[in-house]
Amino acid sequence: MDAAGRVLIAQRPPAKHLAGGWEFPGGKLEPGEERLAGLARELQEELGIAIATPRPLIRVRHAYPSREVLLDVWIVRHYRGEPRGLDGQALRWCTRDELAEVELLPADGPIVRAVWLPERLTQASSVYYRVGDSSSLARRTVADDTQLRGVFCGSAVEAAAAVGEGAEFLVLRNELGCGELAALCGTVPVPVFARGLALDDAWALGASGLNEIGE
């Protein structure tokens, strides 16, 4: 993502699976490779950039007819170098409205919705999202489909239950210990907003951002 808030997408080269489709840049982990190391390596190899302080966002599992993929998605705002298509792939910077019009690969749909969540939640609703208790999920209407639905949670147990009920992101009411927060973020596939941490520390533990509502 650039300083103007635009998002970079890439077109899959010929001869690759789903050639010609647009997707978010990235690639596969090598055997035994750590997530951050793989992210840094892939973006260096594909785009020629060196990344710093990436933000965890969402994990998406999707089944294609020939294979199943698990996308571990991060937002990268800080990097050195100018992105270039080193594999011969076309690149395109998109605003929110432009991204909504692009024919992305089917697995990328949930990412488009999550990518506009802020790093710091300072209000319970916006044009992009709404946060409530778990009962609000049952009251969801067709008109709500344009907003991501988050759930306030008091514990890791509540958070896991909310995901099972359809929460698209989790907002922690209380501070969790570092180990408990890291375990939660490693278990659930949706963005988690932590409480009582510095932003970089929250990212290092796997949270997508901070809950600052009411502060």
Q: In the β-sheet with 169-172, what is the strand arrangement from edge to edge?
A: 120-121, 209-211, 192-194, 169-172, 148-153, 129-132
Token code pair at residue 50: 């060196």
Longest dimension (CA), the chain: 52
**Which amino acid would we find at residue 57?**
L
pLDDT at 103: 86
Of 198, 164, 157, the residue nearest 180 (C-alpha): 157
Question: What span, in angstroms and rounded, lies between the C-alpha atoms of 68 and 66?
Answer: 7
Sequence-separated (6 or more) residues with CB below 8 Å from residue 171: 121, 131, 150, 151, 152, 153, 193, 211, 213
Question: Which of helix, strand or coil describes residue 35?
Answer: helix
Record the pTM: 0.87
Q: How many CB atoms lie within 10 A of CB 101?
A: 8
Amino acid at site 208: S
Q: pLDDT tens track of the chain, all 215 residues?
A: 998 999 999 998 877 777 788 999 998 899 999 999 999 999 999 999 999 999 999 988 877 777 787 889 999 999 999 999 998 899 999 998 898 888 888 888 888 888 989 999 999 999 889 999 887 776 665 555 678 899 999 999 999 999 999 999 999 999 999 999 999 999 999 999 999 999 999 999 999 999 999 86
pLDDT, position 202? 96
